[in-house]
Amino acid sequence: MGITKKTVVVSVLRMVVFICVILTSSLHIAMAIEIMNVDDITPGMKGYGKTVFSGKRIEVFNIEVLGVLKNWEARSDMILIKMTGGPLSKTGIIAGMSGSPVYIDNK
Are both 51 and 76 inside the same structural domain?
Answer: yes
Q: What is the pLDDT of residues 21-61, one digit of tens each?
A: 666 666 556 556 678 888 999 999 999 999 888 889 898 99
Q: How many domains does the chain have?
A: 2
User: Percentage of the chain with pLDDT > 70?
Assistant: 80
Are both 46 and 96 inside the same structural domain?
Answer: yes
Are both 53 and 27 inside the same structural domain?
Answer: no
User: Percentage of the chain with pLDDT > 90?
Assistant: 21
- Would the pTM count as exceeding 0.75? no
Range from 2-6, 10-14, 16-20 carrying the lowest mean pLDDT:
16-20
Domain span at 11: 1-33
Q: Which long-range contacts (CB under 8 A, 24 or more apart) does 48-51 make?
A: 48/102, 48/103, 49/83, 49/100, 49/101, 49/102, 49/103, 50/100, 50/101, 50/103, 51/96, 51/97, 51/100
Q: Is the pLDDT of residue 93 over 90?
A: no
